[in-house]
Structure 1
Amino acid sequence: MTFTLDLLLIPIAYLIGSISFAVVVSKCMRLPDPHSYGSGNPGATNVLRTGNKLAAVLTLVGDALKGYLAVMLARVLLGDESLTSTLGSWVLCGVVIAVFLGHLFPVFHGFKGGKGVATACGILFGINWILGAATLATWIIVAMFIRYSSLAALAAAVFGPVYFVFLFGFQPMGIALLVVCFLLIWRHRSNIQKLLNGTESRIGSKKDKAQAQVDTNTQGQS
């Protein structure tokens, strides 16, 4: 591909990231708009608050896959040296940031996106499966023992760039992953405040599910 065509991968990645699977899955399964209940975040954790586990899983998989596919598409078109060559590496960095921004600010859904945890995971697996597995393991371990999804996401976000440097050394992609890390932390600022206040909901919280059910019932009656 030429330089100009290479750059087209960046807006394409943004459009891929702009597909909000929380909204798409909810519409297909006739569930309430994920912006209208719980945290208002169009992501798997909030969709799970409806009690529909299948919808939450489909949202999680869809959001992760779009990050993975955007990166893999770029890597295939840019060639095997996309992580190491100067031009390919910077274009791939642009793709990583673009698909993540697409999820946070989706043009197809009024720029009201999610917090990017699943998409970031998919991006990391697209870069390298060991990198993705290590970061996912970090999320799982923190989530299992602490039972705060937001805290697990923050821990994974911080360790992702660290794992990359450990595996590949200092490369431009490390900067892109730092940008993703900071954006993810910024999107979790309300969760951070709740964690500090001791009011953050734990994974599987009965109160959380009950509130979501109330919101769902209220929507159904309106």
Structure 2
Amino acid sequence: MSILVLIISCTIAAYLLGSIPTAIWYGEAYFGFDIRKHGSGNAGATNTFRVLGKRAGTIVLLIDAIKGWIATSLALMIYYGHLIEWSECQNLKLLFGFAAVLGHIFPVFSNFKGGKGVATLLGMVMSVHPEAALVCMVIFFLVFISFHYVSLGAIIASLSFPILLLLKTFGKENDLVIVFGFILFLLILITHRKNVVRLFKGQENRIYLRPKKESV
């Protein structure tokens, strides 16, 4: 098998991994309904949290992140097979990770209507740059805990990734990773465009880790 055929095959595999509609299959298997017909209508972890609860939401979040990590890490298989150099491995991680995120947003297994790509993107970033991913996770939780908006936390965290690399927070970085970081931020911004409108209008739904106490 030529290296080009192998790369194409891995790209397709990454897309198919990303296409696994975790929220939809989990909702149908354990609750007997399509998550897209409830809550916000989105087939992602946030809507699963909102509709099915913390346990279901956490499971969907973890699986979506893991599928992004596995898809991105397919590049390591080619690298450890001594077929490419490390710099090429990093570039292929971006390609495979991007394919997985697109698969999550436009999944072939559910009529190309999926989630917004945040959890799968997290898995991708964990594979590409674990240190930056951890900082972005902290930023997400700080924003979420402060304002209780998942969408705002996801947008700011996704923007933080390329900015951290651009500022050389972790040392000199691959320019292509920085460029892809901004492209992925724009993708997240596009998938959250309705959330952005609701945020500006003050109509975005808040999510609380603990139920709000009712006033007496």
TM-score by length of structure 2 reads 0.87
1:1-222 equivalence runs, <5 A:
2-79=3-80, 84-85=86-87, 87-165=88-166, 166=168, 167=170, 168-204=172-208
Name the residue aligned to 1:211: none
Shift of 1:83: 8.4
Residue type at the aligned position of 1:95: F
Q: Provide, for residues 188-221 of structure 1, a one-character-per-residue CA deviation record: whole Å limited to 9, x for no partner.
A: 0000000000000111399xxxxxxxxxxxxxxx
Aligned equivalents of 1:115, 1:170: Cα separation in 2 = 26
Moved over 3 A (4+): 79-84, 87-90
Contact 1:149–1:203 (Cα < 8 Å) also in 2: yes
Shift of 1:171: 2.3
Unmatched 5+ stretches in structure 1: 207-222
Residue type at the aligned position of 1:70: A
Aligned equivalents of 1:89, 1:204: Cα separation in 2 = 37
Q: Provide, for residues 88-124 of structure 1, a one-character-per-residue CA deviation record: whole Å limited to 9, x for no partner.
A: 3433221121111000000001000101111111111
Contact 2:105–2:116 (Cα < 8 Å) also in 1: yes
TM-score by length of structure 1 reads 0.84
Contact 1:75–1:82 (Cα < 8 Å) also in 2: no
Contact 2:79–2:86 (Cα < 8 Å) also in 1: no
Contact 2:93–2:128 (Cα < 8 Å) also in 1: no
Contact 1:20–1:113 (Cα < 8 Å) also in 2: yes
Residue type at the aligned position of 1:201: N
Q: What secondary structure, in the 3-state scheme, does the structure 2 residue paired with 1:49 have?
A: helix
Shift of 1:143: 0.3
Aligned equivalents of 2:142, 2:11: Cα separation in 1 = 33
Aligned alpha-carbon RMSD (Å): 2.3
Contact 1:34–1:42 (Cα < 8 Å) also in 2: yes
Give the 3 Å change call, closer, same or farther, for CA 83–100 of structure 1 in structure 2: farther
Aligned equivalents of 1:130, 1:2: Cα separation in 2 = 30
Pick the structure with more helix per residue: 1
Aligned length: 206
Contact 1:97–1:179 (Cα < 8 Å) also in 2: no
Unmatched 5+ stretches in structure 2: 211-216
Aligned equivalents of 1:144, 1:83: Cα separation in 2 = 41
Aligned equivalents of 1:145, 1:41: Cα separation in 2 = 24
Q: What secondary structure, in the 3-state scheme, does the structure 1 residue paired with 2:73 have?
A: helix
